[in-house]
Amino acid sequence: MTKDQYTMFRLPIEFLRLIIPYKILFSKSVFKLAVSLLSGAMLATGKRTVTSALRIVGLGEERNFPKYHRVLSLSKWSARKASGILLRQLLNCFLPEGAVVVGIDETLERRWGPKIKARGIYRDSVRSSRSHWVKASGLRWMSVMLLVPMSWAKRVWALPFLTALAPSERYHQQQGKPHKKLTDWARQMLLQVKRWLPDRKVIAIGDSSYAAIELLSALQGQVGMIVPLPLDAALYEPALPRRTGQRGRPRKKGKRLPTLQTYLHDSHLSWQKIVVSQWYGKKQRVLEVASATAVWYYSGKPVVPLRWVLIRDPEGALQPMALLCTDQALSAKDIVTYFVRRWSVEVTFQEARAHLGVETQRQWSDLAIARTTPVLLALFAIVTLLAERLQQQEKLPIATTAWYRKKQPTFSDALACVRRHLWRKSNFYMSPKDTDMVKIPKAQLMLWQQTIAWPA
């Protein structure tokens, strides 16, 4: 029995059931290597390099280690098809029916080096603020995440399932290719999600970067978009129906409407009070909303029918803001409730950096770079799936200390639970359960000692 077969044989049944659907994407030999890398990425701490993943699963003495590197840099398998499988697994587990709400956003992976061709200079949103602009070299990734309430965490989690590299304009010029803007990537990725889910209603949540008329028009009738709307946006009434025999081009819009900034001071506007949960970390916040339908139009661009929602804080602590939704059938409360889920996307990006080693990988080939970060982000969703199955057997333990108490489990608790289960199932305990001492294989003890002793 080879070492990688031994590692795969020792994996728990919950993990194997989760990864078996991906077997069709790989050849038999590559799938075994991929399983070892995936389990190693879960168990490793510190850097998520191929070698660190091999060490943690006991393959530190594997002489033919280059074959594991080739899984990412040379082997033929489709990351896009893997994303479709992962999305269906997430929906079967967390959202078997109803509207599918996804968040879309981009993040910066800070990387340097002349061999990283697709890197560019971007604004670092983590280090920047409204008054301070920080630029950094790195790779820009766009990720689509399933926004779903987690019953045992008592909040919405953003689970990445589709991530793509969005290079800079300079990179495309150097490659002699037409540049694809962020809105082009968003259109392609969201339409791909809809192709995977032709019978489900899909609603996408984004920030102001995605409030582009061309993008909203391209997704009309396929994916409902909820994004911030500028208070000075040019809104119009819908065009009147054409009369019989009327000549000339069909009208695109009707009468110009007042701006939303004007509506804020309109005493005749009807406001409705709603209670929104999880508003920027608060459990509940009372807001006032007003809503109506209109069309958004600028000269030379397509017409976008929408429902706008104007939001204000009766206490005056928040600045007024507006949202648009291309699905006019949604209510104002549903639109605001869905939009609030978007804030969990940044939490996922931070957790992936802190606990899954994003930005610590060291691949240099173009294909390996394009695959590694999406896999690490998808690992967040895979860990959550495993944690969901484990918590059905027993309650997830919550790590607490004398100086830090928390009531609900976080991603670090879910990851720790999955790691404990992987370690527990990889060993044959030969001692009775009710003793203070257990017997474990010597090789496993030495592996743990090496993992704890050596720096990451």
Polymer length of the chain: 456
CATH code at 79-240+251-350: 3.90.350.10
Q: How many Å separate Cα 316 from the centre of its chain?
A: 32
CA distance 388 to 392: 7
What is residue 454's predicted lDDT score, i.e. its pLDDT? Answer: 63
**Per the structure block, which two tokens stand in for 6?**
């031994």
What is residue 46's predicted lDDT score, i.e. its pLDDT? Answer: 85
CA distances from 326 to 58, 223, 291, 323 (A): 52, 8, 13, 10
What is residue 9's predicted lDDT score, i.e. its pLDDT? Answer: 43
Question: Sign of torsion, CA 136 141 147 151?
Answer: negative
What is residue 397's predicted lDDT score, i.e. its pLDDT? Answer: 83
Parse the chain into domains and list their residue ranges.
1-77, 79-240+251-350
**Per the structure block, which two tokens stand in for 318?**
């928040």
What is residue 247's predicted lDDT score, i.e. its pLDDT? Answer: 80
**Per the structure block, which two tokens stand in for 301?**
């661009």
Query: Is the CB of residue 145 less than 8 Å from the CB of residue 160?
Result: yes
- Alpha-carbon torsion, ordered 192, 198, 204, 209, to 10 deg: 40
Question: Sign of torsion, CA 45 47 50 52?
Answer: negative
pTM of the complete model beyond 0.85: yes
Strand partners, 120: 138
Query: Is the CB of residue 270 less than 8 Å from the CB of residue 333?
Result: no
CA distances from 384 to 6, 145, 148, 348, 416 (A): 25, 13, 11, 11, 11
Task: Tell me the mean pLDDT per 10 residues along the chain, length 456.
Answer: 46 90 96 94 91 89 93 95 98 96 94 83 77 85 96 93 92 87 96 97 96 96 96 92 78 90 89 87 84 93 95 90 96 95 94 93 90 96 95 83 85 92 67 62 71 63
Longest dimension (CA), the chain: 92
151: exposed, middle or buried (C-beta count within 10 Å: 0-12, 13-18, 19+)? exposed
77: exposed, middle or buried (C-beta count within 10 Å: 0-12, 13-18, 19+)? middle
Closest among 218, 189, 159, 178 to 80, alpha carbons compared: 189
Query: Is the CB of residue 205 less than 8 Å from the CB of residue 100?
Result: no
Strand partners, 166: none
